């Protein structure tokens, strides 16, 4: 059964600055504790990642995932291509300028192939949502400060 969640945060940065941090896929493990390894497999002509392979550890399960990104000027989404513990994953960020800040909405839908109690799935997803928003905000500000 699929589980969905969404979360919003406001970041003192432009959409372009935020998308640049998300596009730095190889750095994701440095600010997102669920990711232990990340590499870009293929890039679009503009240099943005198209496909990436990531090792994710959550709820006591280590999973190797291959995902494919779709980029616009105000969003990035990704879809799971392969995984050992998930049937599906669709996620993404939608960025809306708000003065000198940007409103960031993160949406995620997952469908696990391994059975886990509902409370573990919800707790793990909540941690991932916090990292995807609050962790992203901290990383964007860190990169902006240099």
Where exactly are the structural domains of the chain?
2-145
Tokens 């949502």 belong to: 129
Query: Residue 57 and residue 55: Cα distance in Å, rounded?
Result: 7
Residues 106-127 pLDDT 10s: 999 988 887 777 777 787 778 7
CATH class, range 2-145: alpha beta
Structure confidence at residue 61 (pLDDT): 82
Count the alpha carbons within 13 Å of 110 in the hemisphere toward its beta carbon: 23
Radius of gyration of the chain (CA): 15
Q: Tell me the pTM.
A: 0.92
* Average pLDDT score, the chain: 92
Distance of CA 90 to the CA centre of its chain: 10
């Amino acid at each position: 059964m699929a589980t969905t969640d969404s979360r919003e945060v406001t970041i003192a940065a432009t959409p372009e600055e935020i998308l640049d941090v998300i596009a730095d896929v190889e750095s994701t493990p440095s600010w997102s504790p669920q990711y232990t390894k990340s590499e870009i497999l293929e890039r679009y002509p503009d240099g943005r990642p198209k496909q990436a392979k990531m090792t994710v550890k959550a709820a006591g399960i280590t999973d190797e995932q291959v995902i494919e990104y779709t980029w616009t000027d105000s969003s990035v989404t990704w879809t799971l291509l392969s995984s050992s513990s998930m049937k599906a994953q669709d996620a993404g960020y939608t960025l809306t300028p708000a003065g000198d800040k940007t409103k960031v909405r993160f949406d995620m839908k997952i469908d696990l192939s391994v059975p886990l109690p509902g409370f573990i799935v919800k707790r793990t997803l909540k941690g991932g949502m916090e990292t995807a928003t609050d962790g992203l905000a901290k990383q964007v500000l860190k990169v902006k400060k240099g």
